[in-house]
Amino acid sequence: MKYLRLIAITLVVTLSFAFIEGENKQFEISKNLEIFTNIYKELNTHYVDDVDPSRLMRIGIEAMLETLDPYTNYISESDIESYRYMSAGKYDGIGANVRKIGNYVTIVEPFEGGPAVAAGLRAGDKIVEVDGRDAKGKKADEVNDVLKGFPGTEVKIKILRPGEEAEREVVVKRDEVDVKNVPYYGMLNDDIGYLILTTFTGSAGKNVAAAIRALKTDHPQMKGLIFDLRDNGGGYLREAVSISNLFIPKDEVVVTTKGKVRDRDRSFKTMEQPAVPELPLVVLTNKYTASASEIVSGVLQDLDRGVILGDKTYGKGLVQNTVDLEYNAKLKLTTAKYYIPSGRCIQSVSYQDGEPVDIPDDQRASFKTRGGRKVLDGGGIIPDVETGKEDQVAIIRFLVENDLIFHFATEYRLKHEDIGPAKDFVFTDFDDFVDFIENKQIDFKTKTEKELDQLIDAAESDHLDELIVEQVNDIRSKISQEKSDDLIENKDEIVALIEREIVSRYHYQTGRSEKTLQNDRDVKQAMEILSDPEVYNRYLRRN
């Protein structure tokens, strides 16, 4: 009886403290909400200048959410269309990516089969006016907001096409644009297939399954598959489970989610028999492979089902749910972490400027794959074969950042009506490209040259410029010669970028993918692994 009495007293005390703590927390919430509301009212009523109430509140909300992880976000009513595109791969508009280049928002990639292509718009077209409103100097988001609209409605766009003096008026009928999450699949040779998935939006699992089924039907001799998840930022968890199920047996646990509310913890299992349970598989990853992409690559690694090749992935092991708010707004908030079959969570534990901070391997917990291979948690999936990406040399980075290859491809399209099949196109006019760059007369300065400019400025301030100007000019002359040589020394890589950009002007996303594969080092290494069963099995320790 004494023990029972002691237990009862302990329970009462514990519940009392919990009740008091809960009451205190509710009081703190009520108190701070009242303070926040009063400050908001005072600013709107008495601040010396006019205040936009919506903007002010949004800043407050976003500042609050910034103290949490980067994936807990407020989505206002005006952002819903962009949210729909990110979550479902669909939006209502003209079907084109746009970017501000110079003074004008420019069409950089019309989507194959979309309204923009049907209306005759091309990459490189500058948007001068939209529905009678001047677009010069506008931001890409501002123009995009006007281009989007209900399916069936029309938008009048005035464009200036490079190479033409007169502006064109183009009428585009908006439609629901469904951006393909499997933009390309095909055979790389007689034995090895290739499939790229860009996002885990709705029907991703169904589309990947259809692509694999088509490859198997048309090429029954297929002996290996390269599954490209590079630059795939993730999406729906259910699609990650569905895609994993294509490669692993029924009733396997793919992922377990664990959060604050234990009753909501769940395990997700495969529900079907796999489409290709034994087909040798190489999964390509890079530092932008994130979330659902990391679930799939991590599951296949944990179960020793495929070789992961490329760069370490991003490190996002968090689950988000979306809550509907008043006035068509939404709150996307993190509710759980996910854990893959080995028991590890790949979530990065800290962030800097919204990006995950690299975690040293000796600070990451160790786990085992089903076959006994060592794998680590926290901070992404480390590939079985790390290839690494060399940093772009300065001249190539300069060409890309200044859209010079983009502009050259635009001019090339004006002069050439057709280029034939994407995979057969070969760019042989490199001298024309060099002349194009020289005629642009854009001053390309290396990091060293910029530092020399700073040195001269400092020397002038100290009245020492006469002592060093001759030596600096000599260095500049040598750098100038090196820069002219850089174009020739990096010709092969530059030509590969030019070919990819030109091909996209005629064959859109499908053609770009086909051409990119021909010069992809990771793809070539994956093909070598799949072509040698002994090497493939050694990576998976299946001797």
Catalytic residues: 291, 302, 316
Spatial separation of the C-alpha atoms in residues 283 and 301, rounded to whole Å = 9
| Residue 357 amino acid letter | V
Give me 474's structure tokens: 């000599």
CB 381 within 8 Å of CB 298 = yes
| Residue 432 amino acid letter | D
Angstrom distances, CA of residue 120 to CA of 170, 173, 184: 8, 12, 23
Spatial separation of the C-alpha atoms in residues 300 and 285, rounded to whole Å = 12
Nearest to 130 by CA among 114, 141, 143: 143
Question: What backbone phi and psi angles, to 5 degrees, belong to 442?
Answer: -90, 130
Spatial separation of the C-alpha atoms in residues 301 and 376, rounded to whole Å = 11
- Please work out, in degrees rounded to the nearest 5, the angle formed at the alpha carbon of residue 21 by the alpha carbons of 18 and 27: 140
Strands 126-130 and 154-160: antiparallel
- Site of tokens 């009451």: 23
Spatial separation of the C-alpha atoms in residues 396 and 405, rounded to whole Å = 10
Half-sphere exposure of 11 (CA within 13 A, CB side): 6
- Judge residue 494's burial from the number of C-beta atoms within 10 Å of its C-beta, 0-12 exposed, 13-18 middle, 19 or more buried: buried
Nearest to 159 by CA among 167, 151, 149, 147: 167
Q: How far is CA 44 from the centre of its chain?
A: 39
Which spans in 47-139 are helix H? 53-66, 80-88, 115-118
Q: How far is CA 299 from the centre of its chain?
A: 21
Torsion angle in degrees (nearest 10) through CA of 167, 169, 170, 174? 120
Spatial separation of the C-alpha atoms in residues 341 and 305, rounded to whole Å = 12
Spatial separation of the C-alpha atoms in residues 309 and 540, rounded to whole Å = 12
CB 174 within 8 Å of CB 148 = yes
Q: Can you give the length of the chain in residues?
A: 543
SS3 337: strand
